[in-house]
Amino acid sequence: MQIAPILAALRKHRLATVLIALEIALACAVLCNACFIIASRLSAMHVESGIDEPALATVQLTGYDPSQSVDVDARALAALRAVPGVQSVTLLNSIPFGARRGTAGITTDAERQHFGGVIEFYVGAPGSLDALGSRIVAGRGPRPEDFQPFTGFMPNEANVQITQALADHLWPGVDPLGKEFWMLKSHYRVVGVLKTLVRPDPPGWTPQERLWSVFVPAQPGPYLTGSYLLRADPKEMPRVMRDALAAVARALPEVVIDRDASQTLTDLRHETFRNDRIMAGLMLGVIAALLLVTALGIVGLASFWVAQRRKQIGVRRALGATRGDILRYFQTENFLIVSLGIALGMLLAYALNVALMQVYELPRLPLAYLPVGALALWVLGQLSVLAPALRAAAVPPVVATRSV
């Protein structure tokens, strides 16, 4: 197949060629970025939490007098522990996929010169880390003497457990056990490493940041009041949760139960990623609509050119061109137009990604999405032009040469 005649024909139809190429460029840019957004949302939705989600639930209270926190905790814990099927109940400030009360920035030096990032502090009473089911991969878990009293919204000094992801971020390639970090004047020493422990709000963070968590052991105090973590058999969890809410309502009629926040952790995860599922669905709809419009544009242009070139096709057939030659001509012509559009689309894809990075703080578009988008559009282009090209190849030479 000679390219020169095809290029000469395209130069005679510059406007139509440019319009189709621009349409393909737009499709390429949107396709690459939309697929990247969908992949990012799916990655967040399938994040490993590091906890025993099916066996966990939370009860959240509000509307109580802070001066009565000790009494509120005592009555709430007694009521929850009396519920048949409850294996354990403990106090935990933040709840994975739920309430968030411990986000703060840290430094790796007391002078606050080396910023370590914004992390999640899980502050829990005795038994809370065991209840979560988080697995320790290095060092040790909290001991009874590690549970210190509150001196603010958490203890000022504590031996803590951090996630492997946070350890790799703060001290890459170095054993984190014994390392220290600071949150304002509070000082913490790493004595254990957790395989993973997700933040309460993973969609708002990068894949690395959503696992930057610390567990701080603490004695029960006002900043833990009203946030309870329950553990039960997953098979009995719906009944246990129903009975637990009823028991708390009877034991503390003066407080308000936050029904939206008081759920199983499985339901909290589902609710946390609801917007991500909606976004992924919208992106899939945009991709489908854009590819359909692009395909129709290619079909329309190819059909128009087939009708316009019937006489030329007939002449070529009369001179010995086979049906395969005609078919390859239109497919090659379409391939060149699509390739031009893809080249422009790759540049446009990065420009669009830069805009999304600035406005929505999305990460940079990986290069791997460009060849995937290009391949998808090449396949779409060849499939779209196939029907008009087959019609052109099927025109008998005698009929074609008689057409005006």
Q: pLDDT tens digits, residue range 158-181?
A: 999 999 999 999 999 999 999 999
Q: Give the global pTM.
A: 0.81
Q: pLDDT tens digits, residue range 253-306?
A: 999 999 999 999 999 999 999 999 998 999 999 999 999 999 999 998 888 888
Measure the CA–CA gap between 232 and 376, rounded to whole angstroms: 48
Closest to 205 (Cα-Cα) out of 57, 47, 36, 31: 47
Same domain, 234 and 107: yes
Q: pLDDT tens digits, residue range 292-347?
A: 999 999 998 888 888 887 777 777 777 787 888 888 888 888 899 999 999 999 99
**Positive or negative CA dihedral for 267, 271, 272, 274?**
positive
C-beta neighbour count of 332 within 10 angstroms:
16
Same domain, 78 and 38: no
126 close to 147: Cβ distance less than 8 angstroms: yes
Same domain, 97 and 188: yes
Same domain, 311 and 238: no
Same domain, 15 and 34: yes
Integer angstrom CA distances of residue 73 from 53, 94, 216, 304: 24, 16, 19, 77
265 assigned to some structural domain: no
Q: pLDDT tens digits, residue range 21-61?
A: 998 999 999 999 999 889 888 888 889 999 999 999 999 99
Number of domains in the chain: 2
Same domain, 75 and 97: yes
Beta strands 180-183 and 186-194 are antiparallel
Same domain, 97 and 236: yes
149 assigned to some structural domain: yes
Measure the CA–CA gap between 309 and 135, rounded to whole angstroms: 71
Same domain, 101 and 213: yes
Same domain, 199 and 224: yes
**Domain around 392:** 3-45+275-402
